[in-house]
Amino acid sequence: MRPTFVEVDLGRISANLAAIRSHVSPSTKVMAIVKANAYGHGIVEVARLMEKQRADMLGVAFLEEAVLLREHGITAPILVFGGIAQKQIPLILKLGLSATAPSVDKLRLIDEAAGALGIRARVHLKIDTGMERIGVHYYSADKLLEASLSCRHCDVEGIYSHFANADAADLTHARLQQQRFMEVLEFYTKRSLPPPCRHLANSAGVLALPESHLDMVRPGIMLYGVYPSPETPKTVPVHPALSWRSHVAYFKVVQAGSPVSYGSTWAPEQQTRVVTVPLGYGDGYFRALSGKAQMLIRGHRYPIVGRVCMDQTMLDLGTGTAYNGDPVTIIGSDEKEAISADEIASWAGTIPYEVLTNINTRVPRVYLGA
Ligand SMILES: *Cc1c(COP(=O)(O)O)cnc(C)c1O
């Protein structure tokens, strides 16, 4: 196997799920979000684990992700968040997936397709309370809810909305979104109808807004042990499940003034030791980390020098020591030092979500506790 790999500790993901469960009320269900290759952790393995740990539902962005899970024998309920094209509807129905209905038109198409196929459709209504993405606006949601009552072939399992700012220090907008969602739900109260499963909280909602938990929560990033933002309160103890490791592929002494890597952007002022690590932006390690990030060898932090290449990255050891084959940690801990996805995100000017989801499939995944 390639010596550059991602190590996923499945025990950590299970423990994070358990921590989320004990934080929310016992009657609140948990949907485990596994979109984007389970935030880089491997969608099939994580979904299998979540099924085994009895997560109430799995959440994916696209039909293709759900198809992959069904092909791998995962039978758990799966909600597809994204807007679906009309031609995808029959496959959604045949695979027993739950579809998002973001408009009256889509709902009707789903209902008709289900009628034509002679199967029941599972549907979650999507309300836009302040994201301006897919979903019917909260101020015109009644017509979608009304239409859902007259569907003949749909089981309306759920109704949901999504926060735009629950990870901010200022929760005013998140609270406004929740208020709008609750007003939409009065449709059911007024008609003395039980509402379908109401869900709103992403990780930030789970952590910062207990009143948003409702009937089900949808944690993504926190399941993987990473907090959504530095502003989110750490009300649930979760721990990172992913480590990214490589090894020293080459050691050399570089003379003062001899530039390292493409573009010759950096040269040592005095003779130094430089090692090459066999990974680069072709693996999803941002080129923007050139000259900014660090990696760990033998419990020490060493800076990246010169540009990150497609397949290789160079570290300046200074007077430090490393040998060919020594383990290198890109994300994770090594002796007393650790580098988190958050730290890489701040070096690269992005968020930990992008750091994790960017690690591509060229990097093999290894599972601990499988
Ligand atoms: C991605 C996603 C989530 C999970 O978000 P996190 O911030 O990772 O917890 C929840 N709900 C929907 C609709 C999503 O698209």
Ligand 1 atom closest to residue 35's alpha carbon, by position in its atom list: 1
pTM for this one? 0.97
- Which residue intervals of 191-221 are DSSP H helices? 203-208
Catalytic residue among 139, 250, 262, 323: 262
Catalytic residue among 29, 35, 106, 126: 35
Query: Is the minimum distance from the CB of 221 to ligand 1 under 6 angstroms?
Result: yes
What domains does the chain contain, in order, with CATH numbers? 10-224 (3.20.20.10), 242-368 (2.40.37.10)
Ligand 1 mutation target, pool 39, 46, 81, most atoms within 8 A of CB: 81
What is the C-alpha to C-alpha distance for residues 245 and 332, in angstroms, rounded to an integer?
Answer: 8
Query: Is the minimum distance from the CB of 218 to ligand 1 under 6 angstroms?
Result: yes
Which of the 8 DSSP states describes residue 181? Answer: H
CB 4 within 8 A of CB 313: no
Question: Is 35 marked active-site?
Answer: yes
DSSP line for 37-98: HHHTT-HHHHHHHHHHTT-SEEEESSHHHHHHHHHTT--S-EEE-S---GGGHHHHHHTTPE
For residue 33, the CA-to-ligand 1 centroid distance in Å is 7
For residue 209, the CA-to-ligand 1 centroid distance in Å is 15
| Partners of 297 in the β-ladder | 300, 328
CB 295 within 8 A of CB 305: no
Question: What tens-digit pLDDT sequence spans the chain (370 residues)?
Answer: 899 999 999 999 999 999 999 999 999 999 999 999 999 999 999 999 999 999 999 999 999 999 999 999 999 999 999 989 999 999 999 999 999 999 999 999 999 999 999 999 999 999 999 999 999 999 999 999 999 999 999 999 999 999 999 999 999 999 999 999 999 999 999 999 999 999 999 999 999 999 999 999 999 999 999 999 999 999 999 999 999 999 999 999 999 999 999 999 999 999 999 999 999 999 999 999 999 999 999 999 999 999 999 999 999 999 999 999 999 999 999 999 999 999 999 999 999 999 999 999 999 999 998 7
CB 279 within 8 A of CB 313: yes
Question: Is 281 marked active-site?
Answer: no
For residue 352, the CA-to-ligand 1 centroid distance in Å is 14
Ligand 1 atom closest to residue 228's alpha carbon, by position in its atom list: 7
